[in-house]
Copies of this chain bind each other. A is one copy, B any other.
Amino acid sequence: MAYDFRLDKLREECGVFGIYDNDNHDIARLTYFGLYALQHRGQESAGIAVNDGGTILYHKDMGLVPEIFNDVVLNHLKGKIAIGHVRYSTTGASLRENAQPMVVKYRGGQIALAHNGNLVNAAEIRNKLEENGAIFQSTNDTEVIANLISRYCLTSSNIEETFANTVKEIKGSYALVILTPDSLVGIRDPFGIRPLCIGKLNNSYVLASESCALDAIGAEFIRDVNPGEIVIVDKDGLRSVNSGSCRESKLCIFEFVYFARPDSVIDGACVHHARVEAGRQLAREHPVDADIVIGAPDGGLNAALGFSRESGIPYGQGLLKNKYIGRTFIQPTQDKREIGVRIKFNAMRSEIEGKRVVMVDDSIVRGTTTRRIVQILKSAGAKEVHMRVSSPPYKYPCYFGIDTATRKQLVASNNSIEEIREMIGADSLGYLSLEGLLKTPRGARCGFCTACFDGGYPVEVPDKEINSCKGGAV
Contact = CB atoms under 8 A, between A and B. Distances in A.
Given A324-B64, A332-B29, A270 B350 contact: yes
A170 to B, nearest CB: 15
B471 A57 contact: yes
Given A215-B342, A342-B216, A309 B314 contact: yes
Nearest to A304: B317
A317 B343 contact: no
B150 A29 contact: no
A133 B146 CA distance: 10
A135 B130 contact: no
A136 B348 contact: no
Interface string A118-157: 0000000010001111111100000100110011011000
Given A33-B339, A215-B346, A474-B76, A469 B110 contact: yes
Contacts of A414: none
Contacts of A65: 324
Interface in A237-285: 261-263, 265, 270, 272-273, 276
B339 A218 contact: yes
Binding site secondary structure of chain A: mixed
Contacts of A146: 135
A212 interface: yes
A153 B135 CA distance: 11
Query: Can you tell how many copies of this chain the complex includes?
Result: 4
Chain A interface category by residue count: 35 or more
A290 to B, nearest CB: 16
Contacts of A343: 33, 36-37, 216
Interface stretch (A99-107, A391-399, A455-463): A99-107
A39 interface: yes
A69 B328 CA distance: 10
Contacts of A315: 305, 308, 315
B272 A350 contact: yes
A417 to B, nearest CB: 29
A472 B102 CA distance: 12
B37 A322 contact: yes
Contacts of A158: none
Nearest to A275: B317
Contact of A32 (B134, B330, B473): B330
B32 A217 contact: no
B333 A29 contact: yes
A58 interface: yes
Contacts of A423: none
Contacts of A348: 262-263, 270, 272
10 contacts: A36-B325, A57-B471, A58-B472, A64-B324, A103-B469, A106-B130, A133-B150, A215-B342, A305-B316, A309-B314
Given A58-B473, A110-B469, 8 more contacts: A26-B333, A33-B339, A36-B325, A55-B471, A64-B324, A105-B468, A133-B147, A135-B150
